[in-house]
């Protein structure tokens, strides 16, 4: 990372810590209002007392991270085996022919888009030779092309799994990002908020299976060029295939891993032996080794001071000796 990216990363870390504190505080407040008693204390200290922490991450997508033994990655455990497409969508794909289809979905929160943005998407989709299946609800967008099919619900995983799908246009939510990884699809990421810029950055910069188009300054032409580039440049698809191979190369399926570790905790009546006591008990100065650094600095200063004094004494002695000798 560049210096500016590292500064932003530190800022984002402390901002996220603050958000987490507020969420835990609100959870404890609700718990006490409902009079759940001692359970509220467990919520307040969950990050320090939880036997296990399940994380939705995978090395194919995320950067390497040092994790404690009680932190378990269960990447994409929510993915289902896609069902066969019904006749309606099968006919759409058949009519799409050699150009194939594009799946566009921005999650449940963004099925409705403001007028300017839905027009931008509609015009960009209309300029492509592929058939676009767009998960969208609301007024018909201005400039909607004959090649674009809008529906307030689509069989997303079944469509993503189909070999005719050439591109996935997504907001890069956690679920959508893992679907793109799982089904080895090139992506165009259009992040809206929260963790979506993070996942878009991972897909476009780490996996290199697509491009990110920011909402700031987005135009139909810019979006169209990005989609055309990702579809026609086979490097993106090759990178998606490589990342999918890494993602799937696991010793145990994510769902089985989740069940195993949950049963492990039940079997052992908790798993405090997996948690680091030091991580929870060290204060700020100990955690960042500031006390050790201070000690080393003090020792170096003392040694340096002593050496300077000794050197000064030796020099003065030599000068005095030489002076006395010639006198």
294-306 tens-digit pLDDT: 999 999 999 999 9
Residue 45: its pLDDT value, please?
A: 73
Specify which of 44-53, 212-221, 269-278 reaches the highest per-range mean pLDDT. 212-221
Length of the chain, in residues: 327
Contact yes or no for 243/60 (Cβ under 8 A): yes
The stretch 178-204 carries a mean pLDDT of 92
pTM: 0.79
Tokens of 311: 């050197």
The answer on pLDDT for 43 being more than 80 is: no
More confident call, 268 vs 29: 268
% of the chain with per-residue pLDDT over 90:
54
The stretch 232-239 carries a mean pLDDT of 96
Average pLDDT, the chain: 89
Residue 276: its pLDDT value, please?
A: 83
106-158 tens-digit pLDDT: 988 777 888 999 999 999 999 999 999 999 998 899 999 999 999 999 999 99
Residue 81: its pLDDT value, please?
A: 84
Give the model's confidence band at 261: pLDDT under 50 very low, under 70 low, under 90 confident, else very high. very high
Domain ranges (residues) in the chain: 3-58+252-277, 87-248, 287-326
The answer on pLDDT for 50 being more than 80 is: yes
Contact yes or no for 55/233 (Cβ under 8 A): no
Residue 128: its pLDDT value, please?
A: 96
- Give domain 87-248's CATH architecture: 3-Layer(aba) Sandwich (3.40)
Give the model's confidence band at 327: pLDDT under 50 very low, under 70 low, under 90 confident, else very high. low
Residue 24: its pLDDT value, please?
A: 78
The stretch 168-179 carries a mean pLDDT of 93
Under DSSP, the state recorded for 114 is -
The answer on pLDDT for 326 being more than 70 is: no
Chain center to CA of 263: 27
Residue 57: its pLDDT value, please?
A: 85
The sign of the dihedral angle between the CA atoms of 144, 145, 146, 147 is negative
């Amino acid at each position: 990372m560049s210096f500016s990216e590292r500064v932003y990363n530190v800022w984002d870390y402390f901002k996220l810590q603050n958000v987490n504190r507020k969420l835990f505080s609100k959870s404890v407040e609700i718990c006490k209002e409902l009079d759940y008693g001692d359970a509220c204390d467990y919520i307040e200290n969950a990050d320090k007392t939880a036997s296990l922490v399940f994380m939705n991450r995978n090395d194919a997508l995320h950067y390497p991270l040092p994790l404690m033994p009680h932190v378990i990655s269960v990447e994409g455990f929510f993915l289902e085996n896609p069902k066969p497409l019904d006749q309606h969508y099968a006919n759409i794909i058949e009519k799409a022919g050699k150009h194939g289809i594009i799946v566009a979905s921005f999650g449940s929160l963004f099925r409705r888009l403001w007028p300017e943005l839905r027009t931008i998407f509609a015009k960009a989709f209309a300029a492509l030779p592929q058939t676009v299946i767009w998960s969208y609800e609301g007024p018909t967008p201005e400039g909607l092309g004959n090649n674009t099919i809008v529906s307030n619900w689509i069989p997303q995983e079944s469509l993503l799994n189909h070999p005719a799908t050439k591109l996935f246009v997504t907001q890069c939510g956690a679920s959508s990002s893992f679907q793109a990884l799982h089904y080895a699809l090139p992506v165009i990421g259009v992040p809206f908020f929260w963790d979506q810029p993070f996942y878009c950055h991972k897909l476009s910069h780490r996996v290199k299976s697509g491009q990110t188009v920011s909402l700031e300054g987005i135009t139909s032409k810019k979006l169209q060029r990005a989609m055309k580039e990702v579809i026609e440049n086979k490097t993106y698809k090759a990178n998606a295939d490589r990342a999918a191979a890494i993602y799937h190369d696991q010793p145990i399926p994510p769902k089985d891993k989740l069940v195993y570790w949950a049963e492990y905790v039940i079997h052992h009546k908790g798993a405090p032996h997996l948690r680091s006591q030091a991580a929870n008990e060290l204060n700020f100065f100990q955690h960042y080794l500031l006390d050790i650094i201070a000690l080393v600095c003090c020792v170096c200063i003392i040694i340096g001071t002593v050496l300077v004094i000794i050197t000064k004494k030796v020099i003065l002695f030599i000068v005095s000796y030489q002076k006395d000798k010639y006198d």
